[in-house]
Amino acid sequence: MATRALIGYLDDSRLLTTTYNHYDGYPEYLGKKLKEFYNTDDLAKEIANTGYISSVEEDGSITSKFDKTSADKIQLDDDVIEAGLKVAQEIKIISGEYGYIWIGYDWFTIK
């Protein structure tokens, strides 16, 4: 069974770039791998721009069964509550259980 997750990168203009992760999206696995292998601004931006991820492997490499190479882009509202609701809606759309958003310097987990 898949534990779906959204991986996102939030830039200074509040543009959220997201990709879908299909397997092993729980914090003890994907959350740990993001912090271990994608822990800089450039690396976080890179993974969020992948478009589709089947899974992140033990060594941090990405496996993908599909060729979707374009990520989704979402402009978030200035209001932090509205922005949070929009992120939650995007997680729900993909039937995700978790969201991981890179904001400036670290990964933040949303359940």
DSSP output for 3-66: --EEEEEE-TT-EEEEEEE-S--SIIIIIHHHHHHS-SHHHHHHHHTSSEESEE-TTS-EE-SS
Instruction: Mention every residue, 6+ apart, whose C-beta is less than 8 A from residue 57.
Output: 63
Q: What is the pLDDT of residues 46-86, one digit of tens each?
A: 999 998 999 999 999 999 887 767 899 999 999 999 999 99
**Distance (Å, whole) CA 23 – CA 7:** 12
Q: How confident is the model at residue 1, as a pLDDT? A: 63
Q: How confident is the model at residue 99, as a pLDDT? A: 98
Q: What is the pLDDT of residues 14-49, one digit of tens each?
A: 999 999 999 999 999 999 999 999 999 999 999 999
Q: How confident is the model at residue 8, as a pLDDT? A: 98
Q: How confident is the model at residue 25, as a pLDDT? A: 98
